[in-house]
Homo-oligomer: A and B are copies of this chain.
Amino acid sequence: MRPTIKDVAKAANVSIATVSLVLHNNERISSETKRRVLKRIKQLHYHPSRSARGLVLSKIGNIGFIITEEHFLRTESFYTRVFLGTEFEAREKDNYVLLATISSSFKKGDPLPRFILERNADGILIVGKVPEAFIESIKKYNMPILFIDYLPPNGDFPGVLIDNERGGMLATEYLINSGHQNIAFIGGEISHPSIMERLHGYKLALEKANIINGNGLVVTNDENLSRQNGYRSAEKLFIQNKNVTAIFASTNATAVGVIQYLKDNNLNIPNDISLIGFDDVEADIMIDPPLTTIRVPKVKMGTEAVQLLLNIIKTETTTAKKIIVPIELVVRESIKNIN
C-alpha cells in the first residue's frame, strides 16, 4: 500500500497536521521538525493523494487542453509543440494537462469534453480555431478559459497570441529590402484569423513602401490540406502572373507545397523565386535551400498560457489579458538579394 500522511506522521512522531503544514511550508513549524518530517517523506517516498487534496480543496490540479482533431493531427508539429509547452509548465506547477479533441464541425448539443462535464479541470485552454458553437456551449460552465493562437470574434477572453501582423510585415519588409517588388502572398487556411493578420501585415508593408500591386498577387484558398493548398495556390499564381520574384507563404506547410510546385516546374529557389515562410520549419522536412522564415516560439506559447491560466484560477479574477509572444526573423538561404 502506498504511504499516507499518517505513515509519515507516525514515523516522524508528529501529528498529521504537522506533516501537512510542512508540506505547505508553513512558518509555524520549527526547522528542526521540518527537517525530521521531510526526511521521512523522502524515506517513505510519500506523495500526497491528489484525490484527497482535490476533495477538500475542490480544485483538482488538472487543466484541459482542447483542440480540433484536425489541428491536432496536422503534420506540422505546431500545436503538438504548444501542447508540450503546456505540459512542461503544468508539471512545473504541479498540474496535469488533459487533452481532448473536438470535431471542427462541432454543433450545439454535441457531447462536450468529459473534463468539462465532470468539472475535472480547473481551467481550460482552447487551442487554435474552434467552432463558435463550441464556445457557446461551454460558456455556461463558467470555468476559466484561455485561448491560444485564436480569439473568438465576440466575447472578451484572455489569450496567448502570435504577433501575426508584425510577422507579416517583417517578412514582407525583408523581401522588399532585398529588392523585391512583385511579392505574392500565398495564404493557407485563410479563414483562420492568424492568416488574415499575416496578410494584413503583408499589405501594410507594401503600402508603407509604396508598392502597389493588384490583388492578383494574393492567392488564398480554403482547402484543408495546407501542402496541397500551397501547391495549388502556386499553380494558380503562376498561371495568372509571370513576373513574380518573391513569395510569402503564410505557413510552412503552405511553403512546402509551394516548393514542390516550383521544383516540378524547374524554378530554382532563390535564383528564380525567393521564398519566405512562417513558423520555423521542422528540421525533418528537407528543404533545399534552407528556408528563411518567421520563427514562432511554440513551446513558449504553451508555458506562458499555463502560467496565465493558473494565475487566473488562483486569483479567481476575470481578465481578458492578451499575451503576445515575440516572433523573430530567421534568415537562411531562400531569398535572393536583387538590389
Contact = CB atoms under 8 A, between A and B. Distances in A.
Interface residues on A, range: 35 or more
| 5 residue pairs, one from A and one from B, having the closest CB atoms | A51-B54, A51-B55, A47-B118, A225-B284, A51-B51
A260 interface: yes
Interface string A246-278: 000000010001001001000000000000000
A16 to B, nearest CB: 15
A73 B72 CA distance: 12
B47 A225 contact: no
A87 B73 contact: no
A291 to B, nearest CB: 15
A226 interface: yes
A115 B94 CA distance: 10
A80 B73 contact: yes
A212 interface: no
Nearest to A94: B114
Contacts of A138: none
Given A96-B114, A227-B285, 5 more contacts: A54-B54, A83-B99, A87-B101, A91-B100, A253-B284
Nearest to A56: B51
20 contacts: A2-B119, A47-B118, A47-B119, A49-B54, A50-B51, A50-B60, A51-B51, A69-B84, A72-B84, A73-B77, A73-B282, A74-B284, A83-B99, A87-B100, A91-B114, A96-B114, A96-B120, A97-B99, A98-B98, A228-B286
Contacts of A80: 72-73, 80
Contacts of A260: 286
B51 A225 contact: no
Contacts of A2: 119
A75 interface: yes
A283 interface: yes
B118 A75 contact: no
Nearest to A121: B96
A68 to B, nearest CB: 12
A227 to B, nearest CB: 5
Contact of A84 (B58, B73, B74, B81): B73
Nearest to A119: B2
A250 B214 CA distance: 48
A77 B100 CA distance: 16
Contacts of A263: 263
A185 interface: no
Contacts of A53: 51
Contacts of A117: 45, 47
Given A50-B54, A50-B60, A51-B50, A101 B119 contact: no
A239 interface: no
A134 interface: no
Given A47-B118, A50-B60, A227 B286 contact: yes
Contacts of A114: 91, 94, 96
A100 B97 CA distance: 9
Contacts of A285: 75, 227
